[in-house]
Structure 1
Amino acid sequence: MQDNRSQVRKVLWITLLLNLFVMALKATIGFATGSLSLQADALHSITDSANNILGLIANRFSSPLPDREHPYGHQKFEALGALGIAAFLGIACFEILKGAVERIAFGGKPVEVAPSELWLLSIVLIVNIFVAVYERNVGKKIDSPILIADAKHTTSDIWVTVVVIAGLIGVWQASALNIPQLRSLDVILAFPVAFMVFYSGWEVIRDNLPWLVDEMAIAPEKIHRIVMTTPGVVNCHDIASRGVVGRQVFIEMHLIVDTSDVQTAHKITERIEQRLAESFGKVRVSIHVEPPDYESDDISFGSTEKAEL
């Protein structure tokens, strides 16, 4: 398996510098205008920078190549890094909601926005779009979960920034249009901003948790159909799989073949491995060849009932 960690590091360093620039710009304008939603958005951008640093740390330990201490590779380090991103998103969501509730309950300094500040925020939006597209494209190209997860986070940041800019435009026009209610947009929009942050974190968890808990990667029935149509196979049972399709999948099975010759049996198993790789991408298959007396109708390994948690 190819080691793409150097490419991941390059992307993370570039996006870290851009995120620090965005964070500083948002924080400066947020405190200058007194905008709660923009300060919350700056907090969101702090997590972007923290995510890049976390990604660099995780990348240091996430070699896909197996070694003596980690015979199944190190890719779970990247999944752990992605869950760390989700944790940062949860913290950001809490801080946004806390600030909004405090503003509603106790009030605060009125928000004042100038056109020049809105133009500066448009630069922030352009940088965020570039970072999200850049990370997502490279992440998909080299199959890096940490880059894909961070790209999702940055995509949520884009929508957060759009919402915040829309609210600040409303605040800016409140006096001109003689609609004082528009000044409340800054606090009101802090709530959907928090929801967007929360949903982004949930997506990261959903995509990476199956890898960490060894959830079934491929239905045993799908594997069984492919194996049983391979010439020379008599029976296939006790099939198990884990990992993530498209990233790395480990497959185990017990097999009975129509031959007593070891070399012929080996060729049959190699053919099975090739067909599974063609169907599911990166797979590492472990096949236990058994004598005819061990034939079984149990396709799945273990109980077919879901365990009660």
Structure 2
Amino acid sequence: MINSIKLNQNKIVPLNKTTSRQRQVNDVLWRVLFLNLVVAAAKIITGLLTASISILADGFHSAMDASSNVIGLIGSTIASRPPDHDHPYGHQKYETFATLGIGLLLLLTSWNVLQSVIERFLQGGAPQVTILSFGVMIVTILFNWLVVVYEKREGKRLNSGLLLADAAHTKSDIFVSLSVLVSLAAVKLGWLWIDAAVALIIVVVIGHTGIKIVRHASEVLADSAVIDTAQVENIVLAINGVESCHKIRSRGSAQAVHLDLHIQVDGQIPLEKAHLLGHIAQDQLMEALDVADVLVHVEPV
């Protein structure tokens, strides 16, 4: 007889714990959204006052960061919904969709910056350099750095790929702002070509970050394996009575991993004992691995 069992449903992450986590993620995103709006407004106003195209472009770039925060808030809010009839595994992948959106925004940003670089090489030109432009750029860079440190720390604490992706996005913005700052200094010294050269390096940095985020989000959406099968085998085969295990599969995001596997036991033992071995296997896997749910299929041999 083959017995398929799904055990210890109560060991799935409690709904109130998941809801609390999503609420904390949203709180972080709201704070970051506010700071990004302040930074964007400061750059855009300064760019208009000084007729600096580079600062103005960087301001619109920061405004794009705010739009990524909005995407993150929408994705995180939907992801916090509990499992239902149509979504028995929950809604966590909506957060991954939001992460994918941030990665695509990064790629779009890199393309926009690249166009500006090409235009600068072909047409030349230089921004006006004032004390105001230097001051605003330095202050906004410090603001962005604080956002990166804060968002990265909270992303690790809450195990949120969305926050970590947004932190990487904001970090790339610092490099963009630094390129503007360097270009201002270069213009002041008469080295006009440095502006476009530094910006070209930034294009590579932003594009590389965007590709990494898109690749990671795509792997989650494609249900790529997230747990080493050897690690699962070591845990299960250490249980007295389990003779082998196979068909080990894992999928999901970091905060909602689902694991299923087949274990083989002596076909002569009572069904109740085989069922108990399935319980033990699931309990030990839930305890040793950071997973939301484990499905154990028991086979006699």
What range describes the TM-score normalised by the shorter chain of this pair?
A: 0.7 to 0.9
Give the aligned partner of residue 75 of structure 1: 92
Q: How far does the alpha carbon of each residue in 1:81-102 deviate from its partner, in whole angstroms, 9 at most, with x for none? A: 0000111111111111112212
- Structure 1 pair 89/47, CA: closer, same or farther in 2 (3 Å)? same
Q: Report the residue type matching 1:83 in the other structure.
A: L
Residue number in structure 1 paired with 2:265: 257
% of aligned pairs identical? 34
Higher relative contact order (CA 8 A, sep 6+): 2
Question: Is 1:158 paired with 2:174?
Answer: yes
Question: Are the structure 2 counterparts of residues 107 and 34 from structure 1 closer, same or farther at C-alpha, using a change threshold of 3 Å?
Answer: farther
Deviation of 1:16 after TM superposition, in Å, equals: 0.8
Larger CA deviation: 29-38 vs 69-78: 29-38
Q: Deviations over 1:180-217 (max 9, x none)?
A: 3x122222222112122112212212332221001112
Mean Cα deviation higher: 117-126 or 79-88: 117-126
Q: 3-state DSSP class of the match of 1:61?
A: helix
> So what's the TM-score if we normalise by structure 1?
0.84
Residue 306 of structure 1 is matched in structure 2 by: none
Structure 2 match to 1:133: 149
Q: Map of 1:1-309 to 2, 5 A cutoff?
A: 1=13, 2=17, 3=19, 4-63=21-80, 65-108=82-125, 110-172=126-188, 174=189, 180=190, 182-244=191-253, 246-258=254-266, 260-292=269-301
Q: Deviations over 1:52-71 (max 9, x none)?
A: 11011112210264222211
Quote the Cα distance in structure 1 between the aligned partners of 2:241 and 2:292: 21
Cα-Cα RMSD: 2.0
Contact 2:275 2:298 in 1 (8 A): no
Contact 1:238 1:253 in 2 (8 A): yes
Question: Alpha-carbon deviation of 1:120?
Answer: 1.7
What is the aligned residue count? 283
> Retained in 1: the 8 A contact 2:79–2:91?
yes
Q: 1:195 to 1:139 in 2, by over 3 A?
A: same
Structure 2 Cα separation of the partners of residues 54 and 114 of structure 1 = 35
Q: Secondary structure at the match of 1:69?
A: coil
Unpaired segments ≥5 residues, structure 2? 1-12
Offset of residue 221 of structure 1: 2.9
- Given that 2:259 and 2:291 are in contact with CA atoms closer than 8 Å, whether structure 1 keeps it comes out as no
Which amino acid letter does the alignment assign opposite residue 105 of structure 2? F
Q: Displacement, 1:34?
A: 4.6
1:86-130 deviation line (CA, Å, top 9, x unaligned): 11111111111112212221234x322112321121110111011
Which runs of 5 or more structure 1 residues have no equivalent in the other structure?
Answer: 175-179, 293-309
CA–CA distance in 2 between the matches of 1:73 and 1:275? 23
Q: Distance in 1 between matches of 2:258 and 2:239?
A: 20
The CA deviation at 1:35 is 4.2
Kept after mapping to 1: 8 A contact 2:282/2:296: no
Task: Measure, in 1, the Cα distance between the counterparts of 2:113 and 2:46.
Answer: 17
CA distance, structure 2, for counterparts of residue 35 and residue 197 of structure 1: 22
Question: How many angstroms does 1:49 deviate by?
Answer: 0.5
2:79–2:94 contact (8 Å) kept in structure 1: yes
Q: Which amino acid aligns with 1:145?
A: G
TM-score normalised by length of structure 2: 0.87
Instruction: Give distance in 1, aligned partners of 2:155 and 2:255.
Output: 11
Distance (Å, rounded) in 1 between the aligned partners of 2:257 and 2:22: 19
Contact map agreement 2:179 2:195 (CA 8 A) in 1: no
Q: 1:37 and 1:185, CA in 2 relative to 1: closer, same or farther beyond 3 A? A: farther
